[in-house]
Amino acid sequence: MHKIIQNTENKNSIQGIDRRQFVKITGIAALGISSMGVSSMGFSEIKANGVSIIIDPADLIASAPPSKWAVKELEKSLTLKGIDVHKYEQLNQSEANDICIVVAGLNSSVAQGLLKTEKTTIPAVSEALGLVPINSEGKQILLACGYDERGVIYSLLELADRVHFSTQPLDSLNIQKAIIERPANAIRSLNRLFVSDIEDKPWYNDKEMWPQYLTMLTTQRFNRFNLSFGIGYDWLQNVTDGYFLFAYPFLLSVPGYNVRVPQLPDAERDNNLEMLKFISDQTAARGIEFQLGIWMHGYEWLRSPNPNYTIEGLTPETQAPYCRDAVRELLKACPSISGITFRIHAEAGVSEGSYDFWRTVFKGVATCGRKVNIDMHAKGIDQTMIDKALETGLTVTASPKYWAEHMGMPYQQADIRPQEIPPKQDKVITDMVSNNVSTTLSSGSRKFMRYGYGDLLKKDRRYGVLYRIWPGTQRLLLWGDPVTAAAHAKAFSFCGSDGVELMEPLSFKGRRGSGIAGDRCGYVDASLKPRWDWEKYLYTLRVFGRKMYNPDATSDIWQRYLKNQFGAGAEATELALGNATRILPIVLTAHGTSAGNNTYWPEMYTNQPIVVSDDDDYSFLYDTPDPKIFGNVTPMDPQLFIGINDFVKELLKGQCNGKYTPIEYAQWIEDYANEAGKNLIQAEAQAKEKNGPEFRRMAIDVSIQIGLGRFFGAKFRAGVLYAIYEQSNDREALEEALKAYRRAIKYWSELADTAKSVYMPDITIGREVWLRGHWLDRLPAMAEDLSNMNKKLDVYSGNSTLSENIIKEAIKKAMGKPVRNIVSCKHTPPNTFVAGQPLDVEFIFDKTPLSAVLYYRHVNQAERYQKMDLNWKGKNAKASIPGDYTDSPYSIGYYLEVRNSLDSATIYPGFNSNQANQPYFIVHNN
C-alpha to C-alpha distance for 103 and 92, rounded to whole angstroms: 15
C-alpha to C-alpha distance for 920 and 926, rounded to whole angstroms: 19
Q: How confident is the model at residue 51 (pLDDT cuts 50, 70, 90)?
A: very high
- Determine the pLDDT at residue 390: 98
User: For residue 430, is pLDDT > 90?
Assistant: no
C-alpha dist (Å) from residue 819 to 714, 871, 904, 906: 18, 28, 10, 10
Comparing CA positions, the residue from 891, 47, 857, 10 lying closest to residue 459 is 891
User: For residue 846, is pLDDT > 80?
Assistant: yes
SS3 content of the chain, % helix, strand, coil (to 5): 40, 20, 40
- Determine the pLDDT at residue 533: 98
- Determine the pLDDT at residue 539: 98
Question: How many of the other CB atoms lie within 10 Å of CB of 436?
Answer: 16
C-alpha to C-alpha distance for 299 and 236, rounded to whole angstroms: 8
Comparing CA positions, the residue from 309, 307, 498 lying closest to residue 398 is 498
- Determine the pLDDT at residue 848: 94
User: For residue 34, is pLDDT > 90?
Assistant: no
Question: pLDDT tens across 850-903, in order?
Answer: 999 999 999 999 999 999 999 999 999 999 999 999 999 999 999 999 999 888
C-alpha to C-alpha distance for 181 and 159, rounded to whole angstroms: 14
Q: Which H or E run includes 14?
A: strand 13-14
Q: Judge whether 293 and 229 are in contact, CB under 8 Å.
A: yes
Q: Judge whether 327 and 372 are in contact, CB under 8 Å.
A: no
Q: How confident is the model at residue 93 (pLDDT cuts 50, 70, 90)?
A: confident
Say whether the peptide bond before residue 909 is cis (omega within 30 degrees of 0): yes
Question: pLDDT tens across 287-314, in order?
Answer: 999 999 999 999 999 999 999 999 999 9
The model scores a pTM over 0.75: yes
Eight-class DSSP state of 93: G
Comparing CA positions, the residue from 669, 756, 757, 730 lying closest to residue 705 is 669
- Determine the pLDDT at residue 628: 95
Residue-by-residue DSSP string for 667-712: HHHHHHHHHHHHHHHHHHHH-S-TTSHHHHHHHHHHHHHHHHHHHH
3-class state of residue 363 by DSSP: helix
pLDDT > 70 fraction of the chain, expressed in percent and rounded:
94
User: For residue 922, is pLDDT > 70?
Assistant: yes
Helix intervals (H) in 286-336: 316-333
Residue-by-residue DSSP string for 563-605: HHHHGGGHHHHHHHHHHHHTHHHHHHHH--S-S-TTT--GGGP
C-alpha to C-alpha distance for 599 and 124, rounded to whole angstroms: 46
Question: pLDDT tens across 778-824, in order?
Answer: 999 999 999 999 999 999 998 999 999 999 999 999 999 999 988 99
Question: pLDDT tens across 738-748, in order?
Answer: 999 999 999 99
Question: pLDDT tens across 484-523, in order?
Answer: 999 999 999 999 999 999 999 999 999 999 999 988 999 9
User: For residue 432, is pLDDT > 60?
Assistant: no
C-alpha to C-alpha distance for 903 and 852, rounded to whole angstroms: 14
C-alpha dist (Å) from residue 64 to 68, 77, 104, 259: 6, 20, 11, 41
User: For residue 221, is pLDDT > 80?
Assistant: yes
76 residue type, one letter: K
Q: Find the mean pLDDT for residues 246-252.
A: 98
Residue 910 makes CB contacts below 8 A (sequence gap 6+) with 820, 823, 895, 919
First to last CA, the chain: 57
Helical pair 570-581 and 583-590, crossing angle rounded to 10 deg: 10
Comparing CA positions, the residue from 192, 404, 357, 187 lying closest to residue 280 is 192
- CA angle, 287 as apex, 188 and 272 as ends, to 5°? 90
Say whether the peptide bond before residue 627 is cis (omega within 30 degrees of 0): yes
Q: Judge whether 20 and 110 are in contact, CB under 8 Å.
A: no
- CA angle, 485 as apex, 666 and 890 as ends, to 5°? 90
For the chain, the average pLDDT equals 93
In this structure, the dihedral spanned by the alpha carbons of residues 475, 714, 720 and 777, taken in order and rounded to 10 degrees, is -50
Q: How confident is the model at residue 617 (pLDDT cuts 50, 70, 90)?
A: confident
Comparing CA positions, the residue from 627, 577, 630 lying closest to residue 605 is 630
680 residue type, one letter: L
Q: Which strands sit side by side in the sheet containing 84-88, from one edge to the other? A: 84-88, 50-55, 99-105, 139-146, 129-136, 179-181
C-alpha to C-alpha distance for 909 and 918, rounded to whole angstroms: 8
3-class state of residue 193 by DSSP: strand
463 residue type, one letter: Y
Question: How many of the other CB atoms lie within 10 Å of CB of 160?
Answer: 21
In this structure, the dihedral spanned by the alpha carbons of residues 578, 583, 584 and 587, taken in order and rounded to 10 degrees, is 150
